[in-house]
Copies of this chain bind each other. A is one copy, B any other.
Amino acid sequence: MPRTLPTIVKATVTPILISDPPLLNVLGVHQPYTPRAIVELETDTGATGVGETYGDSEYLAVARRLAEAVTGLPLTALNGLRDLAYEKAGLTTDTVKEFDPAGLRGSRTNEKLIRSVVSAFEVASLDALGKETGLPVHALLGGKVRDRVEYSGYLFYKWAEHPADDAPRDDWGAALDPDGVVRQAQRFAEKYGFRSFKLKGGVFEPEQEIEAVKALGKAFPGHPLRLDPNGGWSVGTSVKVAAELGDLLEYMEDPTTGIDGMAEVRARTGAVLATNMCVTTFGEIAEAFAKDAVQVVLSDHHYWGGLQATRELAAVCRTHDVSLSMHSNTHLGVSLAAMTHVASVVGNLAYACDSHRPWQTEDVITEPHTFVDGALEVGDDPGLGVELDRDALSTLHERWLSRADMHDRDDVAAMRVADSTWTQPALPRW
């Protein structure tokens, strides 16, 4: 019997600002508030779905145009979303690449912008479709192959507080040396049971960060450790760090920038290199893989274009015997649910996933996730298995309305509040 497919009758994009601690990286520091966008879809059958993505102005502009365009489309029309987004945004794939100063996610291209927006609509559609059919998102993706998804504890050098008086506070204290990093890891381990740890580096001289990793190795013998200076090192420095840390690291993430630099580090050290900077779109894969520049790609359903796109990335990696892990930017529970569902269906996503989520004190879902033994259970509730907290959404949106100065993430500008002489560091810094 032919029937009409469930049709989208309403699409809403809500920009929000979420509190963020003063986490340091190679370019500067997180602002007190980070923009995110919440996408909501509603169908003619009464199903609703939610998605989450970057909320910076350029993402928001595209998301709003796509929201207009999907109204009237079948809920299941996901394969055409990318082309539709390009069309409605008036963009093309021909863009000069430039380094993204704020995102630390490699080159800034229309492709990444478009895919980041599309991903939130795809996730919202799958959430709604799941609720419509009674199926969890993982089942709509062919079913989970694991019942729990392991996450790694994401360690940051950080200040005790933001320099601005009206900024949100946190109780984690400062972490500005090896001892501080170990204390942070211990708290993560106690609170959430994380077994593997990733340290965001590129903040201090490599020697200090090497010491921090060694201290972690001592405090957590045998636990998987990662170090990520976001391309902050030269090839020579990367080679030295690799020699110093040897087998302590399960992988070294973006020690240096660019495919050729990464390939040289690999060739000279044999170290396992991961990336969320030199391979961030499908167009960068062929050259990077051919040159053996990366051995682990950090998937991210946001900028790779959604959950199906993540599966496609996984297939490409599997085909080339390249491993897969998962990247994270500051995010809330909607994205965490999507990350968990997709990680549960991808067999070759064998590393513990990154997530900033433990650093966020706020959420837009009624029952925020709790990491237990360093992992999240993959549930069988329909859709993503989360429910939007409308009061929280409204509060965070109000904040967005009142803080136009925070509509775009800019870690360089945030650092300048503390240090007026700070300018965007040229990479490599060391």
Chain A residues packing against B (C-beta within 8 Å): 1-5, 74, 76-80, 83, 132-136, 139-145, 282-283, 285-286, 290, 308, 311-313, 315-316, 318-321, 345, 347, 379-382
Contact = CB atoms under 8 A, between A and B. Distances in A.
A136 to B, nearest CB: 8
Contacts of A141: 79
- Among A78, A83, A135, A321, the one with the most B-chain Cβ atoms within 10 Å of its Cβ is A135
A76 B316 CA distance: 23
Contacts of A381: 1-3
A38 to B, nearest CB: 22
B145 A79 contact: yes
A271 to B, nearest CB: 22
Contacts of A74: 139, 143
Nearest to A134: B3
Contact of A1 (B76, B283, B290, B382): B382
A80 B5 contact: no
Contacts of A80: 143, 145
- Among A141, A316, A381, the one with the most B-chain Cβ atoms within 10 Å of its Cβ is A316
Given A143-B74, A312-B312, A319-B285, A79 B345 contact: yes
Contacts of A77: 142-143
Contacts of A382: 1, 3
A118 to B, nearest CB: 11
A5 B135 contact: yes
A53 to B, nearest CB: 18
Nearest to A82: B347
18 contacts: A2-B379, A3-B134, A5-B380, A76-B140, A76-B142, A79-B141, A79-B143, A79-B144, A79-B347, A80-B145, A133-B135, A282-B315, A282-B318, A282-B319, A286-B320, A290-B290, A313-B315, A316-B316
Contacts of A132: 133
A136 B2 CA distance: 9
Contacts of A379: 2
Contacts of A145: 79-80
A386 to B, nearest CB: 13
Contacts of A345: 79
B76 A143 contact: yes
Nearest to A3: B134
A251 to B, nearest CB: 21
B308 A142 contact: yes
Contacts of A144: 79
A142 B347 contact: no
A286 B142 contact: no
A290 B4 CA distance: 45
Given A282-B315, A286-B320, A315-B316, 10 more contacts: A1-B381, A1-B382, A3-B134, A3-B380, A5-B135, A78-B142, A133-B133, A140-B140, A312-B312, A315-B315
Given A282-B318, A286-B320, A320-B286, A142 B1 contact: no
A42 B77 CA distance: 27
Contacts of A1: 381-382
The 8 closest A-B CB pairs, nearest first, are: A312-B315, A76-B139, A78-B142, A77-B143, A79-B142, A133-B133, A76-B143, A282-B319
Contacts of A143: 74, 76-80
A139 B78 CA distance: 8
Nearest to A308: B142
A74 B313 CA distance: 26
